[in-house]
Amino acid sequence: MPLHNAPVNSMDADIHVEVCYALPDQQYVFNVTVPAGSTLGDAIRRSGILDECPHINLQQNRVGVFSELRSLDDRVEEGDRIEIYRPLKADPKEARRRRARSVGSE
């Protein structure tokens, strides 16, 4: 008797994710389908964003999923929003200190 409700092997399924990168004046969002078991790095490379934005350096830019820092080797899950972050121009703590000093000197 065949099993009609047999579980699907999760390694056979495709996963749909978004790969996102934002510049001050432009946003890039790529929808991509990857095989189950793929990593964030796999999805980023498959999306084509590195061709569209050749200045992205995955050895320097940090990545995350839904604003949570992650590793390029982490596995993707269905519906993930993979974000590539631009390097910070200034340390946020130091920028706050400078602003506080300038306000205090007025």
Domain boundaries, the chain: 11-104
For the residues of 7-43, what is the DSSP string, one character each? PPPGGGSEEEEEEEEEETTEEEEEEEEEETT-BHHHH
- Which pLDDT score, from 0 to 100, does residue 100 have? 80
pTM of the model: 0.73
Distance from C-alpha of 39 to C-alpha of 72, rounded to nearest angstrom: 6
Residue-wise pLDDT tens digits, 34-48: 999 999 999 999 999
CATH, range 11-104:
3.10.20.30
- Which pLDDT score, from 0 to 100, does residue 5 have? 47
